[in-house]
Amino acid sequence: ETGVTQTPRHLVMGMTNKKSLKCEQHLGHNAMYWYKQSAKKPLELMFVYSLEERVENNSVPSRFSPECPNSSHLFLHLHTLQPEDSALYLCASSQQIPTGASTDTQYFGPGTRLTVL
């Protein structure tokens, strides 16, 4: 176990549904991340939070809405998704946002496998 948990592990939803993904880290880290992993494609960084403030929104459609109520929890709210949004959604955390020469390691959760019908 990496100290980062995600629920649910699997989710199937229709295009008109509203659902939320949850991530919790037990490592005392200050930075949290959402990634999207599609088949045969590199991981795509979606959002970055540092001390509960969003510091990066990597051109993500508004149908994805993140929320970070505290430094241990991160949510991804989903609404009116498209079939191409089906992917593995990974949450990660690190001690701080790695800038410059920082070698801070990101610890990933197991991911939520999302299928949009």
Partner 1 sequence: KNQVEQSPQSLIILEGKNCTLQCNYTVSPFSNLRWYKQDTGRGPVSLTIMTFSENTKSNGRYTATLDADTKQSSLHITASQLSDSASYICVVSAGGGSYIPTFGRGTSLIVHP
Q: Which of 75, 108 has the CB closer to partner 1?
A: 108
Measured CA to CA, the distance from residue 49 to residue 68 in angstroms comes to 7
Work out how close the CB of 85 gets to partner 1 at its nearest, in angstroms, rounded to a whole number. 19
Tokens 């659902």: give the residue.
19
What binding mask, one character per residue, do residues 24-63 give for partner 1 by CB under 8 A, x or -?
----------------xxxxxx--x-------x-x-----
* Cβ–Cβ under 8 Å, residues 38 and 82: no
Letter for the amino acid at 83? P
Which of 32, 68, 90, 116 binds partner 1 (CB under 8 A)? It is 90
